[in-house]
Structure 1
Amino acid sequence: MISYVKGPLVDIFEDTVIIEAGYIGLEIHVPLSVLDRLPGIGMETILYTYFQVREDGMCLYGFLNRQDLRMFKQLISVSGIGPKGALGVLSAMTPDDLRVAIISGDAKAISRAPGIGVKTAQRVILDLKDKIDMADVLPAQFAAAEGPEISAGGVAKEAIEALVALGYSQTEANRAVGKVEVSDDMTSEDVLKASLKHLAFL
């Protein structure tokens, strides 16, 4: 198993890159979200990889961090989605946007990826909604701020701040959280998940 590849970036193509590792040039398939964030040619690069062995050959798929690699592995665990299909999804939307779409049940957003119909998108949501780690979605300051003493009002405030940090407007965040019946036993993650579901239908 090849966990990661580290070395100078040799070349960049439409959906693959070449990284030199141990005097060998490795071709690695990557989503567009990776291509947009790569350093310049000749710069040292590290990609966390998934190694696929097939009857007709072997393929490496690479990602900039372990969280995005985990998202890729979760996608290919869904029936009907192979590595190329998963790469297409992660090229059509960022891993963070995909996580938010899964949590909020936004099948329409996922189905915009090439080769992914509404039924497959719904299957992605059904299979993965309980596997998404909110720590990968929430900005770090909110993921670490949870505490049992936080009141319902404080939890709602944190959820609003997290939605704004995720790119929603203050008005959208206030409206979405306002539709959630917040109780004392709910965490900000609970409120955020419920709010994202409301936002998916706005």
Structure 2
Amino acid sequence: MIGRLRGVLVTRREERVCLDVGGVGYELAMTPRDLASLPGVGEEIVIHVHTHVREDEISLYGFAAEADRDLYRILLTANGVGPKLAMALLASLSAEEIIRAITGGDPDALTLAPGVGKRGAQKIVLELAPKLAGQDVEIGGAGGLTPVRQALEGLGYSTAEINSVIGELDPDDPVEDQIKSALQSLGGR
């Protein structure tokens, strides 16, 4: 399986790029958000890759961030979610928004993605909430929350207790304020 490619960006199309790696051109499907983050044609880049193998086709899906690729792989484990639907989710919502919707039990947020109906979104939330519990920060990359989680773990709080308050915190607040808010919430329970 191909997990990462480093090469020169040859072409950029609406939802695809071609990356020249050692004289071989790899075509990868990417979200518009990731495409916008890439440098110009002719520049060397690194893309994190998910390789999808079917009976009649091998497809490569590219991501600017490894965390997005990891979330993509988790999305694929839900029944009814294939590569294109998982890409539609990541194209419509940020990784953090997807994780918050799933761990917070908010299937309506997922219906913003084309191809995701209410019933499908409920199914995704139901199936993936246990898999994402405790991983919301590590995968989503909400930078301000990782130190908060570490501080609460250091104080002896369980993952379940931490998860119950972490979604209520504003990642834009200073870390000290987030820890105080979390401790106040945990102390009141």
| Shorter-normalised TM range | 0.7 to 0.9
> Counterpart amino acid of 2:114?
P
Q: CA deviation at 1:119?
A: 0.9
1:104 aligns with 2:134: no
Describe the shift of the 1:138–1:53 C-alpha distance in structure 2 as closer, same or farther (beyond 3 A): closer
Q: Is the 8 A contact 2:15 2:29 kept in 1?
A: yes
Describe the shift of the 1:114–1:161 C-alpha distance in structure 2 as closer, same or farther (beyond 3 A): closer
Q: CA deviation at 1:130?
A: 2.2
Q: CA deviation at 1:164?
A: 5.0
TM-score, length-normalised on structure 2? 0.78
Describe the shift of the 1:23–1:80 C-alpha distance in structure 2 as closer, same or farther (beyond 3 A): same
Counterpart-to-counterpart distance in 2, 1:94 and 1:141? 16
For residues 115-153 of structure 1, what are the alpha-carbon distances to aligned partners after superposition, in whole Å with 9 as ceiling and x for unaligned?
Answer: 1111111111111112221323463343124144499xx
Counterpart-to-counterpart distance in 1, 2:11 and 2:5? 15
Matches within 5 A, 1:44-123: 44-123=44-123
Counterpart-to-counterpart distance in 2, 1:4 and 1:103? 28
Unaligned runs of 5+ in 1: 167-172, 187-202
Partner of 1:134: 136
TM-score, length-normalised on structure 1? 0.74
RMSD: 3.2
Q: Is the 8 A contact 1:139 1:162 kept in 2?
A: no
For residues 42-65 of structure 1, what are the alpha-carbon distances to aligned partners after superposition, in whole Å with 9 as ceiling and x for unaligned?
Answer: 111111111112222211011122
For residues 155-191 of structure 1, what are the alpha-carbon distances to aligned partners after superposition, in whole Å with 9 as ceiling and x for unaligned?
Answer: 9xx969941518xxxxxx9xxx79xx933398xxxxx
Counterpart-to-counterpart distance in 2, 1:50 and 1:10? 20
Partner of 1:163: 170
For residues 57-102 of structure 1, what are the alpha-carbon distances to aligned partners after superposition, in whole Å with 9 as ceiling and x for unaligned?
Answer: 2110111222111111111111111001111111111112111111
Determine what percentage of the aligned residue pairs are the same residue: 28
Q: CA deviation at 1:21?
A: 0.6
Unaligned runs of 5+ in 2: none
> Counterpart amino acid of 2:136?
M
Counterpart-to-counterpart distance in 2, 1:138 and 1:56? 35
Counterpart-to-counterpart distance in 1, 2:87 and 2:187? 41
Describe the shift of the 1:139–1:118 C-alpha distance in structure 2 as closer, same or farther (beyond 3 A): same
